[in-house]
């Protein structure tokens, strides 16, 4: 019992440390956000921000603080590139939260930890779909991405509410995640195939999507654990770690491409 308690305490501490990505902890970023919020997020400045904010962003819950974090993220990225450093990660909480609750659930199986594990897994899948929407549609049509985000949030709320308040149906949960996962795979692959010649780095995304789809078969299989330790579910968890590293590499390359494209348009203007 003491050993399990100690592991949970250590995991909680690790989650607290990981709640902010490298970019979030960067002093330049934090100072920029602090000064931006002081300057723009109170009094007359806040009223001015709200008056010029598009209605779709207001409905999507985009606040002045969110705007400051977004603007300061790009300021920090620009400074990193100027100094020859790699682009830092920002706001990397969704996947970390899912991995944390998955670890807690496998350490101690309770009704709460099981639900948090399942719900966070669904959140990660929906977040990937939203990310795909932002990359493929949202850059040109932000209103569409905002409306789609609201739809996904409603879907997640309905999904969690049904499983929590009506019936915790394992079959339904699996079918729902598989269906959303297929939408995610088809959408990403279609975009990658259409852009692979123009943007060679999207091949990394294709590899990630195909690997995750193949590895997901482990979740549908059931066999005796190797050495009575590694079953299909455990192997799936281990196998997804390097895949996410590759996906972050794609996001880094794609962000650099978008930043250069944005700079080129700015110079032309």
98, 124 in Cβ contact below 8 A?
Answer: yes
In a domain, 20, yes or no: no
Please tell me whether residues 144 and 241 are part of one structural domain: yes
Please tell me whether residues 201 and 76 are part of one structural domain: no
| Residue 42: HSE in the Cβ half-sphere, 13 Å Cα cutoff | 6
Nearest to 230 by CA among 218, 241, 244, 220: 218
In a domain, 1, yes or no: no
DSSP 230: B
Domain total in the chain: 2
In a domain, 16, yes or no: no
Please tell me whether residues 117 and 57 are part of one structural domain: no
- Between CA 42 and CA 35 the distance in angstroms is 12
Residue-wise pLDDT tens digits, 29-59: 889 999 999 999 999 999 998 888 887 777 7
In a domain, 13, yes or no: no
Percent of the chain with pLDDT over 90: 36
Domain that holds residue 153: 90-265
Residue-wise pLDDT tens digits, 144-182: 988 999 999 999 999 999 999 999 998 999 899 989 999
In a domain, 57, yes or no: yes
- Between CA 225 and CA 233 the distance in angstroms is 9
Cα 117–Cα 119–Cα 123 angle in degrees, nearest 5 = 115
Please tell me whether residues 72 and 118 are part of one structural domain: no
In a domain, 108, yes or no: yes
Select from 81, 103, 122 the last residue of a domain. 81
Please tell me whether residues 76 and 174 are part of one structural domain: no
Select from 51, 81, 111 the last residue of a domain. 81
Helix, strand, coil proportions of the chain in percent (round to 5)?
80, 0, 20
């Amino acid at each position: 019992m003491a050993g399990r308690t100690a592991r949970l305490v250590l995991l909680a501490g690790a989650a607290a440390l990981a709640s902010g990505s490298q970019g979030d902890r960067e002093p330049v970023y934090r100072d920029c956000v602090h000064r931006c919020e002081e300057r723009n997020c109170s009094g007359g400045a806040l009223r001015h921000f709200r008056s010029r904010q598009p209605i779709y962003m207001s409905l999507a819950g985009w606040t002045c603080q969110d705007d400051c974090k977004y603007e300061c993220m790009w300021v920090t990225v620009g400074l990193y590139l100027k100094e020859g450093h790699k682009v830092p990660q920002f706001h990397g909480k969704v996947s970390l939260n899912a991995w944390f609750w998955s670890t807690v659930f496998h350490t101690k199986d309770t009704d709460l930890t099981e639900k948090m594990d399942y719900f966070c897994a669904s959140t990660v899948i929906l977040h990937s779909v939203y990310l795909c929407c932002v990359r493929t549609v949202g850059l040109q049509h932000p209103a569409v991405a905002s409306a789609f985000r609201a739809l996904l949030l409603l879907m997640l709320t309905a999904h969690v509410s049904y499983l929590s308040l009506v019936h915790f149906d394992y079959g339904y949960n699996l079918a729902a995640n598989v269906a959303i996962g297929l939408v995610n795979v088809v959408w990403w692959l279609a975009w990658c195939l259409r852009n692979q010649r123009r943007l060679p780095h999207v091949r990394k995304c294709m590899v990630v999507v195909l690997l995750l789809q193949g590895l997901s078969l482990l979740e549908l299989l059931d066999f005796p654990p190797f050495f009575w330790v590694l079953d299909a579910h455990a192997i799936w968890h281990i196998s997804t770690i390097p895949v996410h590293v590759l996906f972050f590499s794609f996001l880094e390359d794609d962000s650099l491409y978008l930043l250069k494209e944005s700079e080129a348009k700015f110079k032309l203007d």
